[in-house]
Structure 1
Amino acid sequence: MKTISFALPCYNSAAYMDTCIESILAFRDDADDIEILVVDDGSTKDDTAAKADEWARRHPDCIRAIHQENGGHGAAVNAGLAHARGVYFKVVDSDDWLDEQAMRTVMDFLRQQARESQPIDMVVANYVYEKVFENATLTVDYRNVLPVGRTFGWDEVGSFKVSQFLLMHSVIYRTQLLRDIHLELPRHTFYVDNIFVYVPLPHVRTIRYFDVDMYRYFIGREGQSVNEEIMRGRMDQQIRVTKQMIDEVDLDADVSSDPLRRYMESYLSVMLSICTVFLRMTNTPQANADLAEVWDYLRRTRPAMYARIRGNLLNRLLNLPGEAGRRFALGGYRVARKLFKFN
């Protein structure tokens, strides 16, 4: 039995995938309960496919290479989940890496849980923004929000700040939970990690938080999906992801925990705020039409949620009318970017 499956979506990743894989092997030692699924998502510009096969040849007991036609990050995660044999499932992007000592702590707990008849649903740990080109780091922790050192449920969580939402970097799910809800991420779409850390949450009943810096998130690479100019060019995909989040969870009907409902509503509100900022930044007739349409979609699909989200202070300010309102919204975004150091 495998305790955990690590899925590594790889697309033309030859320049950095070795570091990612080596970071997992570092805490594996000789244990046979870890598997690494290297998902080659139709790479054509480098030797990613050959590297994946070579890693699998060298470590046949724990590394498998999965080759598929290009389907995007979501399709690679889907493939990893479909092939996973571990009790737990963790996505690690191929340009990121895991901290050895932190993972040793987490693995001790996961191994214990894997032997239980009802293993815990989700494990959370900290992540670190590695802004390599700026020689800077920023750690996101949850010690003011989540109980440490014991199992808990959603009714025991505090209030998350906008800067400390649960991201793909910080979560490990029980594999069967994801399969039971038939989680499937859209193909050829960026920003699907938002679906991954949103849609399963109402099905999570038990959680454990470790106050250790588990995940190292490389940021600043040219062509990265969170680059501001690239985000502007992919707003159709941001909208697609936001709509799927709206469709898949009715916060008023599907979420029984008040703290979880508040958290998820805040997360969805930020997704719509991102749509608003970047579409107003683009400021073309099509962008303005797209902005009106995404808000109207929420109004038509979830009218009660629309009233609350559109009526909150942040979105009222971001949607102030006219050129002055647009400039105000963009100015607020620039300030937030400096404060929270995203992108």
Structure 2
Amino acid sequence: MKLLSIAIPCYNSAAYMENCIRSLLPGGDEVEILIVDDGSQKDNTGEIADRYEREYPGICRAIHQENGGHGAAVNAGLREATGIFFKVVDSDDWVNKQAYVQVLNTLRRFVYGKDTLDMLITNFVYEKQGAKHKKVMNYNTALPKNEVFTWDDVKVFIAGQYILMHSVIYRTELLRDCGLELPMHTFYVDNIFVYEPLPHVRKMYYLDVNFYRYFIGRSDQSVNEQVMIGRIDQQIRVTKLMMGYYDVTKLQNKKLRRYMTRYLEIMMVVSSILAIRSGTDENMAKKKELWEYVKKTNPRLYIRLRFGFLGQGMNLPGKGGRQISIAGYKIAQKFFGFN
């Protein structure tokens, strides 16, 4: 059994996937790197995956499947994982070597110690193409550092500060026990990955290191604003799916309830902002339908989302409404890193 399984979803990723894989190799025999070739046809992604399996037997494994999208690739990695812990690293991203050592040391301590751990949280860095200053997402204001804690111990998340896929390493069995199965052929499912398991998470640990390097700047990336506008239907679909997993208004733990409600709020804001930025009547109608959907399916949640600070700005006319919309847009930018 491995200490950590790392899934790398790859789709026509030949131009950059080796940088990702090489950054993970220093984990050595304690780590398995699951290179998931998700039906790539335009380049030699599959051949690169096979080569690393040959060159690093017992560490790298190539998994080939028909194209099913990012979610299907994560699902495949989770199915095949033998590690006690599980992480996803996208093929155009990478990790910091020094922080990687600290992460593995921390995970190892829990495997051989008395405490169990459900989720390890680290910082990530926005590696924005062309940017001189690299923005770091850390959780110093929100989470206790270097100790095991529960939801009761969580402090204050500031606007735009959320635990994203880049931040988390889960206990593998927790993901399996909660039935995590990401939808196929759907973008933005990383939000489901960091949302659906949360009520099952009991013990957490925040390691204040800049581990994950999140690359943004390619014009074809899913977080490019124009790409996101073109995929607004996908964003809305994921938002509705997330609302269907739990009635968050009935969660017993107050801090967990608040955090998950705020996560849904930012999902509603992103969908609304994309509709507003598109400037089309068609997308504005989709925005209206989404808010009506929430109102119909969960009136209590609707009130919390609609009359929160950001929710008001997505639906108010005039200068005041636009100012709140702009504030929401800036928070959405920070959340997704889109430009």
TM-score, normalising length: structure 2: 0.94
Change (3 A) 1:59 1:73: same
CA contact (8 A) 2:161 2:335 kept: no
| Partner-residue secondary structure (3-state), 2:145 | coil
**Displacement after TM superposition at 1:340 (Å):** 7.9
Asked if the contact 1:89–1:174 (Cα under 8 Å) also holds between the matched residues in 2, the reply is yes
Among residues 157, 170, 173, which one is paired with 1:173 in the alignment?
A: 170
Q: Are 2:66 and 1:72 aligned? A: no
1:147 aligns with 2:134: no
Aligned length: 338
Q: Does 2:98 align with 1:96?
A: no
Structure 2 distance, partners of 1:264, 1:138, is 24
Distance in 2 (alpha carbons) for counterparts of 1:125 and 1:334: 25
Question: Of the candidates 33, 37, 41, which is equivalent to residue 36 of structure 1?
Answer: 33
Query: Which one of the candidate residues 304, 307, 313 is aligned to 1:317?
Result: 313
Tell me which residue corresponds to 2:7: 7
1:238-257 equivalent positions in 2, closer than 5 A: 238-253=235-250, 255-257=251-253
Compute the RMSD of aligned alpha carbons: 1.9
The equivalent residue for 1:187 is 184
> 298, 305, 308: which is aligned to 2:304?
308
2:293 is the alignment partner of 1:293: no
How far the C-alpha of 1:287 sits from its partner, in A, is 1.3
How many Å separate the matches in 2 of 1:341 and 1:275?
12
| Matches for 1:110-125 after TM superposition, within 5 Å | 110-115=107-112, 119-125=116-122
> CA shift at 1:279, angstroms?
1.0
Q: Distance in 1 between matches of 2:336 and 2:188?
A: 18
Report how far residue 330 of structure 1 moved.
5.6
TM-score under structure 1 normalisation? 0.93
Report how far residue 247 of structure 1 moved: 0.1
Q: How big is the shift at 1:193?
A: 0.6
Q: Unpaired runs of 5+ in structure 2?
A: none
Distance 1:209 1:332 in 2: 28
Rounded to whole Å, the distance in 2 between the matches of 1:298 and 1:134 is: 38
Provide the identity percentage: 51
What does the per-residue CA deviation read over 1:141-181, in whole Å, with 9 as the maximum and x for residues that have no partner? 11111111210000100111122200000000000000001
Q: Pick closer, same or farther for the CA change 1:148–1:317 going to 2, 3 Å.
A: same
Q: 1:256 to 1:233 in 2, by over 3 A?
A: same
Distance 2:311 2:189 in 1: 23
Other structure's SS at 1:256 match: coil
Q: Secondary structure at the match of 1:149?
A: coil
Work out which of the residue numbers 34, 46, 49 in structure 2 matches 1:49: 46
Shift of 1:286: 2.2
More divergent stretch after superposition (330-339 vs 235-244): 330-339
Equivalent pair of 1:126/1:139 in contact (CA under 8 Å): yes
- The gaps in structure 1 that reach 5 residues or longer are none
Is residue 284 of structure 1 aligned with residue 285 of structure 2? Answer: no
Separation (CA, whole Å) in 2 of partners of 1:69 and 1:12: 13
Assess if the C-alpha contact under 8 Å between 2:72 and 2:184 holds in 1.
yes
2:266–2:332 contact (8 Å) kept in structure 1:
no
Which of 188-197 and 308-317 deviates more?
Answer: 308-317
Out of 126-135 and 151-160, give the one that drifted further. 126-135
Match of residue 18 from structure 1:
18
Correspondence for 2:258 among 240, 262, 265: 262
